[in-house]
Amino acid sequence: MKYFIVAGEASGDLHGSNLMAALKERDPEAEFSFFGGDLMQAQGGILIKHYREMAFMGFIPVLLNLRTILRNMKMCQKEIIQFQPDVVILIDYPGFNLKIAKYLKTHTQIPVYYYISPKVWAWKEYRVKSFKKYVDEMLSILPFEVEFYKKHNYHIDYVGNPVVDAVADFKGKNTNDSFEQFREDNKLDNKPVIALLAGSRQQEIKDNLPAMLQSIEKYTEYQPIIAGAPGIDPEYYTKYIGNHSCKIIFGQTYRLLQYSEAALVTSGTATLETALFRMPQVVCYKTPIPRIVYWVFKNVLHTKYISLVNLIADKIVVQELFSKFFSVSSIQEETNRLLYDDSYKNKMLKEYDEVINILGKPGASGRAADIIIEKLKH
């Protein structure tokens, strides 16, 4: 069969490449054409447009690049029509992909599947109407989304979470690794580690890292290690490390999580990855105008939590120190509990196990591929 896939971000490229690999296993004659990135290109097929030329985030960048975005949409529509795929698979990236879905439903008979739902449960809930109207099949990677869409009379399939796959794959390939080897490889001190995951964007690092470092200054018996984010120059970190004694390690975030005693984590997928390694954590996220941001969170957004761990558990498993709760003293207080309060830490680990159980076993890409092929056959 012929598959046209649209991914407009780095995360979509990763998930798209894993899905393509799973589809090829089940469909040896699979042909691919796609908007994506290097990882998808490595799976074969025709890369039409790289996500680097599409990833405009925020109101101003979108406005400034509106002509380019519209040109990309026209190109995408034209390429789909020429390719005549058996299915179009859209990955997250809702501003672009929902318009492609609408075009296909109003101009063609090509089925539209969506892999990885945009976070409409947090805001822009009105988009559910568009999914019901233009998307034939929604494949979700977050279990609570099933009930959310059910309230809107829209059936979706939960296929598992790719992060579970990634962590399981890492653990399977690194059974002979050890803390001693990790320490030797990175020339670390002979001290237990506190992991600092300060975000993947420059603004997040600028906002969160200084307070994180300041909050753990007094824990001299530990060594803080920063998980370097892909695409961020090491020199960028040095501006915010100042006089703190701290190492940065790139490309080894999972090893770092495996061998740390506690983690300070900026919200995002990293909170879930940290939980899957059963690493005690506190979520730290600084915002501008904190009291106003918190008011918006409580009164405008349709979500109780900012971290995936708490959203999946539907309760507070890890403390979320964001907006008006973010401060050096609050991070320090929570870190102290993670390091020295065994009953507090063990309760968190037990609740992690509940989250891991809810997420289910590895194999998200395979289950997604199974559903796609089975639906197309019928």
> What CATH code is carried by the domain that includes residue 42?
3.40.50.2000
Give me the mean pLDDT over the 288-305 stretch: 82
Same domain, 354 and 369: no
86 DSSP 8-state letter: S
Same domain, 135 and 172: no
Q: What is the DSSP string of 294-357?
A: HHHHHHTSS-S-SSHHHHHHTS-SS-EEEGGG--HHHHHHHHHHHHH-HHHHHHHHHHHHHHHH
Same domain, 148 and 172: no
Same domain, 82 and 201: no
The pLDDT, as a whole number, for residue 8 is 87
Note the pLDDT tens digit of each residue in 186-218.
999 999 999 999 988 888 999 999 999 999 999
**Those residues with Cβ within 8 angstroms of residue 361's Cβ, 6 or more apart along the chain or in another chain:** 160, 164
Same domain, 152 and 240: no
- Total structural domains within the chain: 2
Which residue range is the domain that position 234 belongs to?
A: 166-359
Same domain, 297 and 372: no
Note the pLDDT tens digit of each residue in 249-275.
999 999 999 999 999 999 788 999 999
Same domain, 171 and 293: yes
CB-based contact 294:323 (threshold 8 Å): yes
CB-based contact 336:104 (threshold 8 Å): no
pLDDT at residue 93 greater than cutoff 90: no
Same domain, 324 and 214: yes
Q: How far apart are CA 135 and CA 113, in angstroms?
A: 6
Task: Read off the pLDDT band of 64 (50, 70, 90).
Answer: low
Q: How far apart are CA 59 and CA 206, in angstroms?
A: 21
CB-based contact 203:173 (threshold 8 Å): no
Same domain, 316 and 221: yes
pLDDT at residue 62 greater than cutoff 70: no
Same domain, 308 and 185: yes
Q: Which residue has the higher pLDDT, 330 or 94?
A: 330
Same domain, 108 and 171: no
Task: Read off the pLDDT band of 121 (50, 70, 90).
Answer: confident
**Those residues with Cβ within 8 angstroms of residue 343's Cβ, 6 or more apart along the chain or in another chain:** none
Q: How far apart are CA 233 and CA 228, in angstroms?
A: 9
Say what the alpha-carbon torsion angle 283, 287, 291, 296 is, to the nearest 10 degrees: -90
pTM above threshold 0.85: yes
Q: How far apart are CA 98 and CA 90, in angstroms?
A: 9
pLDDT at residue 55 greater than cutoff 70: no
Note the pLDDT tens digit of each residue in 352-369.
999 999 999 999 999 999
- Give the other-Cβ count within 10 Å of 361's Cβ: 12
The pLDDT, as a whole number, for residue 101 is 97
Q: What is the DSSP string of 34-83?
A: EEE-HHHHHT-SEEEEEGGGT---SHHHHHHTHHHHHHHHHHHHHHHHHH
Phi, psi for residue 2 in degrees, rounded to 5: -110, 130
Q: How far apart are CA 204 and CA 251, in angstroms?
A: 18
Q: Which region among 44-58, 82-96, 135-149, 236-250 has the lowest average model confidence (pLDDT)?
A: 44-58
The pLDDT, as a whole number, for residue 118 is 87
